[in-house]
Amino acid sequence: MNFALTTEWLQRLVVEVASRGHGYGATDLGHREPVQVEFGSINPTGPMHIGHGRGVVLGDSISRVLEFTSHQVQREYYVNDQNTQARRFGASVWARMHGEEPPEGGYAGAYVTELAEMAKADLGDVDSLPRDEAEAKVREYAIAVMVYRIRASVARLNVRYDEWFPESRLWQDGLPQLAINRLRDAGFLKERDGALWFGPALEEEDGLGEQVRSEKDDRVVIRSNGEPTYFASDLGYLLSRFERRGFNRVIEVWAADHHGYVARLKSAAAALGINADQLVIIIHQMVNLKEGKMSKRAGRFVELDELVDKVGSDAVRYFYLLRSPDTTIEFDLELALTQSSENPVYYAQYAHARLSNVEATANERHPKLPEPANVSLLIHPWELDVARQLAYWPEVVEDATRLLEPHRIPYYVHDLATAVHRFYHAGNETGEHRVVVDDPELTRARLELCRAARHTLKTALDLIGVTAPDRM
RNA sequence: GCCCCGCUAGCUCAGUGGAUAGAGCAUCUGCCUUCUAAGCAGAGGGUCGGGGGUUCGAAUCCCUCGCGGGGCACCA
Nearest nucleotide (C1') to alpha carbon of A254: B76
What is the distance in angstroms measured between the alpha-carbon CA of A33 and the sugar C1' of B76?
30
Please list, in sequence order, all residues whose beta carbon lies within 8 angstroms of the beta carbon of residue A287, skipping any fewer than 6 positions away.
A50, A51, A53, A54, A294, A328, A329, A331
> What's the complex ipTM?
0.94
SS percent in chain A: helix, strand, coil, step 5: 60, 10, 30
Nearest nucleotide (C1') to alpha carbon of A192: B74
Distance CA A466, CA A455 (A): 14
Whether the CB-CB separation of A287 and A331 falls below 8 Å is answered with yes
With vertex at residue A339, the alpha carbon angle to CA A338 and CA A345, rounded to the nearest 5 degrees, is: 145
What is the structure's pLDDT at A296? 57
Going by C-alpha positions, the residue among A431, A437, A442, A278 that lies closest to residue A376 is A442
Q: Which bases of strand B have any atom within 7 Å of the beta carbon of a protein residue?
A: 3-6, 12-16, 19, 23-26, 34-41, 68-76
Please give the protein residue whose CA is closest to the C1' of the nucleotide B70: A257
What is the structure's pLDDT at A333? 80
What is the distance in angstroms measured between the alpha-carbon CA of A262 and the sugar C1' of B63?
26
Please give the protein residue whose CA is closest to the C1' of the nucleotide B16: A403
Whether the CB-CB separation of A73 and A37 falls below 8 Å is answered with yes
What is the distance in angstroms measured between the alpha-carbon CA of A393 and the sugar C1' of B34?
32
Nearest nucleotide (C1') to alpha carbon of A399: B16
Ranges in chain A, pLDDT < 70: 1-5, 200-214, 291-300
Judged by DSSP in three states, A52 sits in: helix
What is the structure's pLDDT at A255? 96
Nearest nucleotide (C1') to alpha carbon of A167: B76
Please list, in sequence order, all residues whose beta carbon lies within 8 angstroms of the beta carbon of residue A367, skipping any fewer than 6 positions away.
none
Nearest nucleotide (C1') to alpha carbon of A435: B35
What is the distance in angstroms measured between the alpha-carbon CA of A443 and the sugar C1' of B29?
35
